[in-house]
Chain A
Amino acid sequence: MRVAVGSRWIIVGVVLLACGGPAQAQSMLPGGMPPPPGMSLPQSAAMRFPQPVQVSALLHRDVLQPVPSQRVLGTVKSIVRNGSGTVEAVVEYGGFLGFGARPIAVPIDAMVLLGQDMEIVAYSPKQLNHFPTFSAVGTMPVPSDTIIRVGLAKPSH
Protein backbone atom coordinates (compact mmCIF):
# COMPACT_ATOMS: atom_id res chain seq x y z
CA MET A 1 0.00 0.00 0.00
CA ARG A 2 1.27 3.49 -0.71
CA VAL A 3 2.27 6.18 1.78
CA ALA A 4 0.20 9.30 1.26
CA VAL A 5 0.46 11.35 4.43
CA GLY A 6 3.07 13.44 6.16
CA SER A 7 4.73 16.15 4.12
CA ARG A 8 8.07 14.96 5.50
CA TRP A 9 7.68 11.66 3.69
CA ILE A 10 6.50 13.40 0.51
CA ILE A 11 9.74 15.37 0.39
CA VAL A 12 11.72 12.20 1.07
CA GLY A 13 9.82 10.52 -1.73
CA VAL A 14 10.43 13.34 -4.19
CA VAL A 15 14.12 13.38 -3.33
CA LEU A 16 14.36 9.64 -3.86
CA LEU A 17 12.57 9.94 -7.22
CA ALA A 18 14.88 12.77 -8.24
CA CYS A 19 17.92 10.68 -7.38
CA GLY A 20 17.07 7.97 -9.90
CA GLY A 21 20.03 5.97 -11.15
CA PRO A 22 20.74 2.53 -9.69
CA ALA A 23 18.39 3.31 -6.82
CA GLN A 24 15.53 3.21 -9.36
CA ALA A 25 15.65 -0.54 -8.95
CA GLN A 26 14.53 0.14 -5.37
CA SER A 27 10.98 1.26 -4.66
CA MET A 28 10.30 4.88 -3.77
CA LEU A 29 9.63 4.12 -0.14
CA PRO A 30 11.08 0.69 0.39
CA GLY A 31 9.27 -1.30 3.07
CA GLY A 32 12.70 -1.89 4.53
CA MET A 33 13.68 1.67 5.43
CA PRO A 34 17.45 1.60 5.83
CA PRO A 35 18.39 3.23 9.13
CA PRO A 36 18.91 7.01 9.04
CA PRO A 37 22.61 7.98 8.83
CA GLY A 38 24.26 8.27 12.21
CA MET A 39 21.87 5.84 13.91
CA SER A 40 23.19 2.53 15.24
CA LEU A 41 21.71 -0.77 14.11
CA PRO A 42 20.15 -1.57 17.49
CA GLN A 43 18.62 1.91 17.65
CA SER A 44 17.10 1.55 14.18
CA ALA A 45 15.84 -1.94 14.99
CA ALA A 46 14.11 -0.59 18.10
CA MET A 47 12.11 1.80 15.88
CA ARG A 48 10.58 -1.15 14.02
CA PHE A 49 8.43 -2.47 16.87
CA PRO A 50 10.41 -5.72 17.29
CA GLN A 51 8.19 -8.74 17.93
CA PRO A 52 8.96 -12.02 19.74
CA VAL A 53 9.62 -14.92 17.38
CA GLN A 54 10.92 -18.40 18.03
CA VAL A 55 14.29 -19.17 16.44
CA SER A 56 12.93 -22.42 14.96
CA ALA A 57 10.32 -20.36 13.09
CA LEU A 58 13.08 -18.39 11.34
CA LEU A 59 15.01 -21.32 9.88
CA HIS A 60 14.72 -21.84 6.09
CA ARG A 61 12.87 -18.52 5.60
CA ASP A 62 13.55 -16.74 2.33
CA VAL A 63 15.55 -13.55 2.77
CA LEU A 64 14.34 -10.90 0.33
CA GLN A 65 15.68 -7.63 -0.99
CA PRO A 66 13.28 -4.83 0.09
CA VAL A 67 12.23 -3.96 -3.47
CA PRO A 68 8.98 -4.54 -5.45
CA SER A 69 10.54 -7.41 -7.40
CA GLN A 70 11.12 -9.22 -4.07
CA ARG A 71 14.41 -10.65 -5.27
CA VAL A 72 15.54 -13.58 -3.12
CA LEU A 73 18.96 -12.87 -1.60
CA GLY A 74 19.24 -16.17 0.25
CA THR A 75 17.76 -18.32 2.98
CA VAL A 76 18.20 -18.43 6.76
CA LYS A 77 20.51 -21.28 7.70
CA SER A 78 20.85 -20.71 11.42
CA ILE A 79 20.80 -18.12 14.21
CA VAL A 80 24.04 -17.58 16.17
CA ARG A 81 25.47 -15.28 18.83
CA ASN A 82 28.89 -13.87 17.89
CA GLY A 83 31.85 -13.13 20.19
CA SER A 84 30.38 -9.77 21.29
CA GLY A 85 27.03 -11.35 22.10
CA THR A 86 25.22 -9.91 19.08
CA VAL A 87 22.56 -12.13 17.57
CA GLU A 88 23.18 -12.81 13.88
CA ALA A 89 21.38 -14.74 11.18
CA VAL A 90 23.58 -17.00 9.07
CA VAL A 91 22.20 -16.51 5.57
CA GLU A 92 23.02 -18.82 2.67
CA TYR A 93 23.59 -15.86 0.37
CA GLY A 94 23.75 -15.38 -3.37
CA GLY A 95 24.40 -18.00 -6.00
CA PHE A 96 21.99 -19.17 -8.66
CA LEU A 97 19.66 -22.14 -8.46
CA GLY A 98 21.58 -23.55 -5.53
CA PHE A 99 25.07 -23.06 -6.97
CA GLY A 100 27.64 -20.61 -5.71
CA ALA A 101 25.88 -19.56 -2.49
CA ARG A 102 28.00 -18.89 0.58
CA PRO A 103 27.05 -18.32 4.20
CA ILE A 104 27.32 -14.80 5.60
CA ALA A 105 26.43 -13.55 9.09
CA VAL A 106 23.95 -10.66 9.10
CA PRO A 107 23.10 -8.89 12.39
CA ILE A 108 19.46 -9.58 13.26
CA ASP A 109 19.03 -5.83 13.82
CA ALA A 110 19.72 -5.36 10.10
CA MET A 111 16.77 -7.57 9.22
CA VAL A 112 12.98 -7.56 9.53
CA LEU A 113 10.17 -10.09 9.56
CA LEU A 114 7.88 -9.84 6.55
CA GLY A 115 5.05 -12.33 6.87
CA GLN A 116 6.53 -15.78 6.28
CA ASP A 117 9.84 -14.31 5.02
CA MET A 118 12.56 -11.90 6.11
CA GLU A 119 14.22 -8.89 4.54
CA ILE A 120 17.69 -7.36 4.95
CA VAL A 121 17.00 -3.65 5.27
CA ALA A 122 20.27 -2.14 6.53
CA TYR A 123 22.61 -3.37 3.77
CA SER A 124 22.36 -3.27 -0.01
CA PRO A 125 23.27 -6.35 -2.08
CA LYS A 126 26.46 -4.52 -3.11
CA GLN A 127 27.47 -4.25 0.53
CA LEU A 128 26.41 -7.84 1.29
CA ASN A 129 28.63 -9.10 -1.53
CA HIS A 130 31.62 -7.89 0.50
CA PHE A 131 30.61 -9.58 3.75
CA PRO A 132 33.16 -12.23 4.77
CA THR A 133 32.13 -15.86 4.43
CA PHE A 134 30.78 -17.05 7.77
CA SER A 135 33.05 -19.04 10.04
CA ALA A 136 31.53 -20.68 13.13
CA VAL A 137 34.72 -19.98 15.15
CA GLY A 138 33.90 -17.70 18.08
CA THR A 139 30.12 -18.06 17.62
CA MET A 140 27.50 -19.98 19.58
CA PRO A 141 24.32 -21.32 17.98
CA VAL A 142 21.13 -19.99 19.59
CA PRO A 143 18.89 -22.90 20.73
CA SER A 144 15.89 -23.32 18.42
CA ASP A 145 13.28 -22.86 21.13
CA THR A 146 14.72 -19.47 22.14
CA ILE A 147 12.47 -16.46 21.64
CA ILE A 148 14.28 -13.47 20.10
CA ARG A 149 12.93 -10.09 19.01
CA VAL A 150 13.00 -9.01 15.35
CA GLY A 151 11.69 -5.78 13.80
CA LEU A 152 8.93 -5.46 11.21
CA ALA A 153 8.44 -3.73 7.88
CA LYS A 154 5.58 -3.28 5.44
CA PRO A 155 5.69 -4.91 1.97
CA SER A 156 7.85 -3.05 -0.56
CA HIS A 157 6.16 -1.19 -3.40
Chain B
Amino acid sequence: MTSAVSPVPGHDGHGDDSHPGRRPTGGYVACVRGAMSMAMHSADARHTRRLHPMPIRIMHWINAFAMIVMITSGWGIYDDDVIIRGFFFPEWARLGGWAAPSLLYHFAGMWLLAVNGLCYLIYGAVTGRFRDRLLPIRVSELVETVRDTLHLRISHEDLTTYNAVQKALYIVVIVAGVSQVVTGLAIWKPVQFSGLVSLLGGFQTARVLHFAGMAVIVGFLLVHVLLSLLVPRTLWAMLTGGPRLDRSRTP
Protein backbone atom coordinates (compact mmCIF):
# COMPACT_ATOMS: atom_id res chain seq x y z
CA MET B 1 0.00 0.00 0.00
CA THR B 2 1.57 3.26 -1.01
CA SER B 3 1.21 6.47 0.83
CA ALA B 4 -1.78 8.59 -0.02
CA VAL B 5 -0.03 11.67 1.29
CA SER B 6 1.79 13.85 -1.20
CA PRO B 7 5.28 14.99 -0.27
CA VAL B 8 5.41 18.33 1.52
CA PRO B 9 8.52 20.42 1.17
CA GLY B 10 10.59 21.66 4.06
CA HIS B 11 10.93 18.63 6.31
CA ASP B 12 12.55 16.06 4.11
CA GLY B 13 15.27 15.42 6.62
CA HIS B 14 17.95 17.53 5.05
CA GLY B 15 17.29 20.64 7.09
CA ASP B 16 16.20 22.33 3.86
CA ASP B 17 16.18 26.10 4.12
CA SER B 18 14.42 26.67 0.84
CA HIS B 19 11.07 27.12 2.55
CA PRO B 20 11.75 29.41 5.48
CA GLY B 21 8.03 29.72 6.21
CA ARG B 22 8.03 26.13 7.42
CA ARG B 23 10.84 26.75 9.85
CA PRO B 24 9.68 26.91 13.46
CA THR B 25 10.15 30.38 14.89
CA GLY B 26 10.38 31.46 18.50
CA GLY B 27 7.57 31.63 21.03
CA TYR B 28 6.76 28.04 21.91
CA VAL B 29 7.56 25.61 24.63
CA ALA B 30 11.22 24.74 25.12
CA CYS B 31 10.48 21.04 25.01
CA VAL B 32 9.28 21.29 21.43
CA ARG B 33 12.40 23.20 20.43
CA GLY B 34 14.47 20.44 21.97
CA ALA B 35 12.34 17.76 20.37
CA MET B 36 12.59 19.42 16.99
CA SER B 37 16.32 19.69 17.09
CA MET B 38 16.54 16.10 18.23
CA ALA B 39 14.31 15.02 15.34
CA MET B 40 16.28 17.13 12.89
CA HIS B 41 19.57 15.79 14.15
CA SER B 42 18.57 12.16 13.93
CA ALA B 43 16.99 12.82 10.56
CA ASP B 44 20.18 14.41 9.32
CA ALA B 45 22.21 11.52 10.63
CA ARG B 46 20.21 8.85 8.83
CA HIS B 47 18.52 10.81 6.08
CA THR B 48 15.23 9.15 7.08
CA ARG B 49 12.53 9.56 9.74
CA ARG B 50 11.01 6.85 11.84
CA LEU B 51 7.25 6.40 12.21
CA HIS B 52 7.48 7.36 15.89
CA PRO B 53 10.33 9.78 16.59
CA MET B 54 11.85 9.73 20.07
CA PRO B 55 9.89 12.76 21.35
CA ILE B 56 6.64 11.07 20.34
CA ARG B 57 7.57 7.86 22.10
CA ILE B 58 8.58 9.64 25.28
CA MET B 59 5.42 11.74 25.36
CA HIS B 60 3.28 8.68 24.57
CA TRP B 61 4.50 6.66 27.53
CA ILE B 62 4.43 9.63 29.92
CA ASN B 63 0.87 10.24 28.77
CA ALA B 64 -0.07 6.58 29.31
CA PHE B 65 1.20 6.77 32.89
CA ALA B 66 -0.45 10.14 33.58
CA MET B 67 -3.78 8.98 32.16
CA ILE B 68 -3.83 5.84 34.32
CA VAL B 69 -3.13 8.00 37.39
CA MET B 70 -5.90 10.45 36.46
CA ILE B 71 -8.46 7.78 35.64
CA THR B 72 -7.93 5.58 38.70
CA SER B 73 -7.62 8.48 41.14
CA GLY B 74 -10.69 9.97 39.47
CA TRP B 75 -12.60 6.78 40.23
CA GLY B 76 -11.66 7.22 43.89
CA ILE B 77 -13.03 10.76 43.84
CA TYR B 78 -16.19 9.61 42.03
CA ASP B 79 -16.90 7.01 44.71
CA ASP B 80 -17.09 9.74 47.35
CA ASP B 81 -20.42 10.80 45.84
CA VAL B 82 -21.46 8.69 42.88
CA ILE B 83 -22.89 10.28 39.76
CA ILE B 84 -24.67 7.15 38.55
CA ARG B 85 -26.59 5.81 41.52
CA GLY B 86 -25.81 2.16 42.08
CA PHE B 87 -22.60 2.37 40.03
CA PHE B 88 -19.58 2.21 42.34
CA PHE B 89 -15.94 1.44 41.54
CA PRO B 90 -14.48 -1.36 43.70
CA GLU B 91 -11.66 -0.46 46.07
CA TRP B 92 -9.01 -2.39 44.18
CA ALA B 93 -9.64 -0.27 41.07
CA ARG B 94 -9.12 3.07 42.83
CA LEU B 95 -5.87 4.94 43.32
CA GLY B 96 -5.94 6.19 46.90
CA GLY B 97 -7.69 4.30 49.70
CA TRP B 98 -10.34 7.00 50.16
CA ALA B 99 -11.20 10.49 48.93
CA ALA B 100 -8.28 12.46 50.43
CA PRO B 101 -5.39 10.53 48.82
CA SER B 102 -7.35 10.13 45.56
CA LEU B 103 -7.66 13.91 45.39
CA LEU B 104 -3.95 14.32 46.13
CA TYR B 105 -3.03 11.96 43.28
CA HIS B 106 -5.49 13.65 40.94
CA PHE B 107 -4.20 17.17 41.57
CA ALA B 108 -0.60 15.98 41.22
CA GLY B 109 -1.18 13.93 38.07
CA MET B 110 -2.99 16.81 36.41
CA TRP B 111 0.26 18.76 36.06
CA LEU B 112 2.04 15.88 34.35
CA LEU B 113 -0.90 15.27 32.04
CA ALA B 114 -1.35 18.94 31.16
CA VAL B 115 2.32 19.80 30.55
CA ASN B 116 3.05 16.61 28.62
CA GLY B 117 -0.22 16.91 26.72
CA LEU B 118 0.51 20.49 25.76
CA CYS B 119 3.99 19.55 24.52
CA TYR B 120 2.42 16.77 22.44
CA LEU B 121 -0.19 19.07 20.90
CA ILE B 122 2.39 21.71 20.03
CA TYR B 123 4.77 19.11 18.61
CA GLY B 124 2.00 17.52 16.56
CA ALA B 125 0.86 20.83 15.16
CA VAL B 126 4.25 22.38 14.49
CA THR B 127 5.88 19.33 12.90
CA GLY B 128 2.82 18.65 10.77
CA ARG B 129 2.42 15.21 12.31
CA PHE B 130 -1.28 15.68 13.04
CA ARG B 131 -2.01 16.92 9.54
CA ASP B 132 -0.20 14.05 7.92
CA ARG B 133 -1.18 11.20 10.24
CA LEU B 134 -4.74 12.07 11.08
CA LEU B 135 -6.20 13.95 8.14
CA PRO B 136 -8.09 13.67 5.91
CA ILE B 137 -10.75 11.12 6.90
CA ARG B 138 -13.23 9.93 4.33
CA VAL B 139 -16.50 8.38 5.50
CA SER B 140 -16.36 5.61 2.86
CA GLU B 141 -12.89 4.71 4.10
CA LEU B 142 -14.22 4.68 7.67
CA VAL B 143 -17.04 2.26 6.83
CA GLU B 144 -14.73 -0.06 4.91
CA THR B 145 -12.17 -0.19 7.73
CA VAL B 146 -14.79 -0.87 10.40
CA ARG B 147 -16.09 -3.76 8.28
CA ASP B 148 -12.58 -5.14 7.87
CA THR B 149 -11.87 -4.90 11.59
CA LEU B 150 -15.07 -6.72 12.47
CA HIS B 151 -14.08 -9.47 10.06
CA LEU B 152 -10.74 -9.52 11.88
CA ARG B 153 -8.86 -8.40 8.78
CA ILE B 154 -6.52 -6.38 10.93
CA SER B 155 -3.17 -7.37 9.56
CA HIS B 156 -2.20 -3.74 9.15
CA GLU B 157 0.73 -4.37 6.80
CA ASP B 158 1.85 -0.78 6.54
CA LEU B 159 2.20 0.72 10.01
CA THR B 160 3.14 4.07 8.57
CA THR B 161 -0.32 4.83 7.29
CA TYR B 162 -3.18 5.10 9.72
CA ASN B 163 -6.45 3.65 8.46
CA ALA B 164 -9.61 5.69 8.86
CA VAL B 165 -10.67 4.04 12.13
CA GLN B 166 -7.29 4.73 13.67
CA LYS B 167 -7.43 8.36 12.58
CA ALA B 168 -10.93 8.75 14.01
CA LEU B 169 -9.99 7.11 17.31
CA TYR B 170 -6.89 9.21 17.80
CA ILE B 171 -8.76 12.40 17.03
CA VAL B 172 -11.52 11.37 19.45
CA VAL B 173 -9.08 10.65 22.29
CA ILE B 174 -7.21 13.91 21.76
CA VAL B 175 -10.48 15.84 21.84
CA ALA B 176 -11.61 13.87 24.89
CA GLY B 177 -8.33 14.66 26.67
CA VAL B 178 -8.73 18.37 26.02
CA SER B 179 -12.35 18.14 27.13
CA GLN B 180 -11.27 16.51 30.40
CA VAL B 181 -8.95 19.43 31.12
CA VAL B 182 -11.70 21.95 30.34
CA THR B 183 -14.43 20.21 32.36
CA GLY B 184 -11.90 19.48 35.10
CA LEU B 185 -11.06 23.16 35.43
CA ALA B 186 -14.79 23.94 35.58
CA ILE B 187 -15.49 21.58 38.46
CA TRP B 188 -12.27 22.52 40.24
CA LYS B 189 -13.06 26.25 40.15
CA PRO B 190 -16.82 26.65 39.61
CA VAL B 191 -16.83 30.19 41.04
CA GLN B 192 -13.58 31.52 39.57
CA PHE B 193 -14.55 30.02 36.18
CA SER B 194 -18.32 30.48 36.60
CA GLY B 195 -18.69 31.61 32.98
CA LEU B 196 -17.23 28.33 31.76
CA VAL B 197 -19.51 26.40 34.13
CA SER B 198 -22.57 28.22 32.76
CA LEU B 199 -21.48 27.34 29.24
CA LEU B 200 -21.26 23.68 30.20
CA GLY B 201 -24.77 23.70 31.69
CA GLY B 202 -24.06 24.05 35.39
CA PHE B 203 -21.84 22.42 38.02
CA GLN B 204 -23.56 19.02 38.16
CA THR B 205 -23.68 18.87 34.35
CA ALA B 206 -19.96 19.66 34.20
CA ARG B 207 -19.41 16.74 36.59
CA VAL B 208 -21.37 14.45 34.28
CA LEU B 209 -19.40 15.67 31.24
CA HIS B 210 -16.12 15.03 33.08
CA PHE B 211 -17.29 11.49 33.84
CA ALA B 212 -18.45 10.96 30.24
CA GLY B 213 -15.07 12.11 28.91
CA MET B 214 -13.41 9.56 31.18
CA ALA B 215 -15.71 6.85 29.81
CA VAL B 216 -14.74 7.77 26.24
CA ILE B 217 -11.03 7.65 27.10
CA VAL B 218 -11.39 4.30 28.91
CA GLY B 219 -13.27 2.95 25.90
CA PHE B 220 -10.46 4.16 23.64
CA LEU B 221 -7.84 2.57 25.93
CA LEU B 222 -9.52 -0.81 25.82
CA VAL B 223 -9.65 -0.79 22.00
CA HIS B 224 -6.17 0.74 21.67
CA VAL B 225 -4.44 -1.71 24.03
CA LEU B 226 -6.32 -4.70 22.61
CA LEU B 227 -5.42 -3.84 19.02
CA SER B 228 -1.79 -3.13 19.85
CA LEU B 229 -1.54 -6.55 21.50
CA LEU B 230 -3.22 -8.22 18.52
CA VAL B 231 -0.71 -6.54 16.20
CA PRO B 232 2.43 -6.53 18.39
CA ARG B 233 4.54 -4.77 15.77
CA THR B 234 2.64 -1.60 16.63
CA LEU B 235 3.66 -1.92 20.29
CA TRP B 236 7.26 -2.55 19.26
CA ALA B 237 7.11 0.50 17.03
CA MET B 238 6.10 2.73 19.92
CA LEU B 239 9.07 1.40 21.90
CA THR B 240 11.76 1.50 19.25
CA GLY B 241 10.49 3.90 16.63
CA GLY B 242 9.00 1.61 14.02
CA PRO B 243 9.68 1.46 10.29
CA ARG B 244 11.56 4.20 8.55
CA LEU B 245 9.49 6.52 6.46
CA ASP B 246 10.11 7.18 2.78
CA ARG B 247 12.41 10.11 2.20
CA SER B 248 9.51 11.95 0.57
CA ARG B 249 7.33 11.54 3.65
CA THR B 250 6.95 14.08 6.40
CA PRO B 251 7.17 13.20 10.15
Is there contact, CB below 8 Å, between B85 and A69?
A: yes
User: Please, which residues of chain B bring their CB within 8 A of the CB of A157?
Assistant: 80, 98
Is there contact, CB below 8 Å, between A69 and B98?
A: no
A69 to B80, CA, bound (A): 9
- Excluding A2-B98, A71-B86, 10 further A-B contacts by CB distance (< 8 Å) are A62-B85, A64-B85, A68-B79, A68-B88, A69-B85, A69-B86, A70-B81, A70-B82, A70-B85, A72-B86
- Interface status of A155 (Cβ within 8 A of chain B): yes
Chain B's nearest CB lies how many Å from the CB of A74? 12
User: Please, which residues of chain B bring their CB within 8 A of the CB of A71?
Assistant: 85-86
A155 to B88, CA, bound (A): 15
- Interface status of B87 (Cβ within 8 A of chain A): yes
B interface residue count range (under 10 / 10 to 19 / 20 to 34 / 35 or more): under 10
A and B contact pairs by CB, cutoff 8 A, 10 listed: A64-B85, A68-B79, A69-B82, A69-B86, A69-B87, A70-B85, A70-B88, A72-B85, A72-B86, A155-B81
A155 to B85, CA, bound (A): 13
Q: Is the interface of B mostly helix, strand, loop or mixed?
A: loop
User: Please, which residues of chain B bring their CB within 8 A of the CB of A70?
Assistant: 81-82, 85-86, 88
A22 to B187, CA, bound (A): 35
Q: 3 closest pairs, A vs B, by CB? A: A69-B88, A71-B86, A70-B85
User: Please, which residues of chain B bring their CB within 8 A of the CB of A155?
Assistant: 81
A68 to B77, CA, bound (A): 12
Interface centre among A70, A71, A157 (most CB of B within 10 A): A70
- Interface positions of B from 72 to 102, Cβ below 8 Å from A: 79-82, 85-88, 98
